[in-house]
Amino acid sequence: MSETSLAQNVTTIEAGDSVVAAAFLGRTPVYALADGALLYAGIGEEKRVKAHEDGAILVALSDGKRFFTAGDDGLLVATDAEGRSETIADEKGKWIDALTLRDDGAMAWSAGKSVRARDAKGVVKNFDAPSAVRGLCFLPKGYRLAIAHYNGASLWFPNAGDPAFYEWKGSHLDATVSPDGRFLVTSMQENMLHGWRLADGKHMRMSGYPAKTRSFSWSPDGKWLATSGADACVVWPFETKDGPMGRGPRECGVRPRRVSRVAFHPTNMVLAIGYEDGWVLLVRLNDGAEIFVRGERESNDAVTALAWDAQGKRLAFGTKGGKAGVLDLPA
Amino acid sequence: MTDKIPVTVLTGYLGAGKTTLLNRILSEPHGKKYAVIVNEFGEIGIDNDLVVGADEEVFEMNNGCICCTVRGDLIRILEGLMRRKGKFDAIIVETTGLADPAPVAQTFFVDQDVQDVAKLDAVVTVADAKWLSARLKDAPEAKNQIAFADVIIVNKTDLVSPEELREVEARIRGINPYAKLHRAVKSNVPLDAVLGKNAFDLDRILEIEPAFLEADDHDHHHHDHDHECGPDCGHDHHHHDHGHHHHHDHDHGGLKHYHDEHMQSLALTIDGEVDPNKFMPWVNDLVQREGPSILRSKGILALKGEDKRFVFQGVHMILDGDLQRDWRPDEKRVSRIVFIGRDLKEDEIREGFMKCAA
């Protein structure tokens, strides 16, 4: 299988509970755990911060400075590198299970049908989606939010009012927008992706997955979308004006187990791929060359979190069973 | 996978006593922890640590299968609940009084992520002894809930006469003779009548005899059982005299039987083996065409050239089947199937099945 290995460069960490997401806050790898805690895995000093006193973390994202976590306690909490927590929203016990961040400090979250967008100044606007929301993603230009729900997606300008509706029958889960802002892609209940070219609403169906896609990652040049849900990382081409219409994807990291997480390196055309049996591989997109990071035989402990640091020198990973770790790339 | 979390679905028309049953389950000293999924707009409070409000969002799968409706909110809630895995032993889903049980059940067969972590244990329907007969006439939801059930609690029996009780039970059996029936006052049924039924477990489909064939046995005990209820019996006496009770016990031979106009069950037997090359295409085609009107199906079949029993069950268009244990030497190799549904094309189904004989 893999010729080369970086296993000796991996530091393992016992997270103790399911890892929901990982991120680097400054130099420190931090893991958001299902039990509501953040685990700071600093060198020589591990620290746990209970961001949610009585809640499970359902979704977690970081902007590199703070970890934003939302849970079944209805709270959206931001916790910084020092472990100081601040409650940003309280949905009165309603589960917050979708969250997205924007470079300028704006963010959006949803609880059931209610969607809230909070701009960089802290002004919150509300929108009631036609049905429960699973996925949110800001467009790169303008203050505009893509909202995935049943039977399509809504594009909403929180400061302008009525959203535009992009219809497609079925249940839409996660949402992502291409870095050039031309395409919206959602994952669907029916094990496929749906895409819209936003300019003219033209549809794209990306199918063939044996399972749901629950992890997306755009390449650093914005031309490729890596996806989970198959026995390989399926990477769709978006470099032309038609996106992947009429074109097939690339497949890399083919293994007999399903891909559960994907994360493009921040600057190079290299993918970190996590599998449902706990394996992590690095794959170079150009030639498909694979490097082994971690994995055992006969495991069912799926990789649930993958995150690069800003420089792309370190990769944090975590699993459903509470294993975590950091790969330090050789200099 | 034995560590899948069992899920019990509680249905029943408005006011039948679902929430009373739910609170009863939760308050008994069973030492188990339940996660409870209730309708957000429920009127009575639930006394439990882990209660999740659901919005009963039903959507159609985009797979060309028109009756393949699932509960989208349930998929989302189960995914979220797994973040608290290990903190509860089982899940109870209470549906609203007007809900169709099928989308809830289908969620457990259609969604792989749900299947990986949870399994449907049984659909339990609470029926109001006094009002069910009327609801069966004017509320299609009530009829669906009876037809779909694995277990039916005939509740509030203290508010009806023995004649009325027999009447409502006969109406229930006219629709669904295969569910286990329990009589209750204020939803006072033993927990093991409701929980841990494994009704959707193929290994547990051992017999598909109508449940009322076994009911005689219950009736013999029934007299005693009423007296065990002690304090509750007090209410009984206000409404009807005790003499009738005795009378009823000795009257089980004259069991009433009703046929519902639109909802019925159809049991078919081939006195021998079926040809799998005929049966599989036939049954798949049947549920594809007639799935919307078939609520539940079950079968135990002797396949030609196969030592093991083939068992299957279905919900609308979704079928699940497997080879089970060996046929015992003393067991007659017969093939039986059962459908419960609305306006079933009985002659067509019978003819089609009979042609599958090996």
Question: How many CB atoms lie under 10 A from the CB of residue A155?
Answer: 17
CB–CB of B80 and A188 under 8 A?
no
Model confidence at B216, pLDDT cuts 50, 70, 90, reads very low
Question: Cα distance from A141 to chain B (closest Cα, Å)?
Answer: 30
Q: Look at residue B221 in the predicted model and tell me its pLDDT.
A: 38
Question: What pLDDT digit, counting tens, does each position of A244-291 carry?
Answer: 988 899 999 999 999 999 999 999 999 999 999 999 999 999 999 999
CB–CB of B62 and A132 under 8 A?
no
Stretch (H or E) spanning A76: strand A75-80
End-to-end CA distance of chain A: 25
Question: Cα distance from A34 to chain B (closest Cα, Å)?
Answer: 5
Whether B247 shows a pLDDT value over 50: the answer reads no
More confident residue, B285 or B66: B285
Classify each residue of A235-253 as buried b or exposed e, where b means 16 or more C-beta atoms within 10 Å of its C-beta.
Answer: bbbbeeeebbeeeebeebb
Q: Look at residue B239 in the predicted model and tell me its pLDDT.
A: 37
Q: Look at residue A116 in the predicted model and tell me its pLDDT.
A: 98
> Which residues in chain A have Cβ-Cβ distances shorter than 8 Å to B59?
131, 150-151, 170-171
CB–CB of A150 and B59 under 8 A?
yes
Whether A158 shows a pLDDT value over 90: the answer reads yes
Q: Look at residue B214 in the predicted model and tell me its pLDDT.
A: 53
Is A268 in contact with A280 (CB distance < 8 Å)? no
What's the angle, vertex CA B46, arms to CA B40 and CA B48, rounded to 5?
A: 115
Q: Look at residue B66 in the predicted model and tell me its pLDDT.
A: 65
Average pLDDT over residues B225-233: 33
Structure tokens at A27: 């130099």
B93 in reach of chain A (CB within 8 A) = no
Whether B57 shows a pLDDT value over 90: the answer reads no
Question: What pLDDT digit, counting tens, does each position of A177-232 carry?
Answer: 999 999 999 999 999 999 999 999 999 999 999 999 999 999 999 999 999 999 99
| Percentage of chain B exceeding pLDDT 70 | 83
Question: Cα distance from B143 to chain A (closest Cα, Å)?
Answer: 28
Whether B219 shows a pLDDT value over 90: the answer reads no
Token look-up 């699932």 returns: B70
Q: Look at residue A120 in the predicted model and tell me its pLDDT.
A: 96
A151 in reach of chain B (CB within 8 A) = yes
User: Testing the interface with A: which of B39, B52, B62 to mutate, by most A Cβ within 10 A?
Assistant: B62
Model confidence at B226, pLDDT cuts 50, 70, 90, reads very low
Nearest beta carbon to residue A97 from set B70, B80, B84: B80
Model confidence at B49, pLDDT cuts 50, 70, 90, reads confident
**How many CB pairs lie under 8 A apart between chains A and B?**
60
Whether A176 shows a pLDDT value over 60: the answer reads yes
A112 in reach of chain B (CB within 8 A) = yes
State the average pLDDT for chain A: 95
Average pLDDT over residues A151-177: 94
Q: Look at residue B65 in the predicted model and tell me its pLDDT.
A: 66
Map chain B to HEC letters: CCCCEEEEEEEECCCCCHHHHHHHHHHCCCCCCEEEEEECCCCCCCCCCEEEEECCCEEECCCCCCCCEEEHHHHHHHHHHHHHCCCCCEEEEECCCCCCHHHHHHHHHHCHHHHHHEEEEEEEEEEECCCHHHHHHHCHHHHHHHHHCCEEEEECHHHCCHHHHHHHHHHHHHHCCCCEEEECCCCCCCHHHCCCCCCCCHHHCCCCCCHHHCHHHHHHHHHHHHHHCHHHHHHHHHHCCHHHHHHHHCCHHHCCCCCCCCEEEEEEEECCCECHHHHHHHHHHHHHHHHHHEEEEEEEEEECCCCEEEEEEEECCEEEEEEEEECCCCCCCCEEEEEEEECCCHHHHHHHHHCCEC
Question: Cα distance from B340 to chain A (closest Cα, Å)?
Answer: 28
Nearest beta carbon to residue A134 from set B63, B76, B85: B76
Q: Look at residue B39 in the predicted model and tell me its pLDDT.
A: 80
Q: Look at residue B64 in the predicted model and tell me its pLDDT.
A: 63
A189 in reach of chain B (CB within 8 A) = yes
Q: Look at residue B41 in the predicted model and tell me its pLDDT.
A: 58
Whether B159 shows a pLDDT value over 80: the answer reads yes
Average pLDDT over residues A53-73: 96
Q: What's this model's pTM, rounded to 2 decimal places? A: 0.88
Q: Look at residue B29 in the predicted model and tell me its pLDDT.
A: 86
B45 in reach of chain A (CB within 8 A) = no
More confident residue, A221 or A2: A221
Q: Look at residue A143 in the predicted model and tell me its pLDDT.
A: 95
CB–CB of B59 and A171 under 8 A?
yes
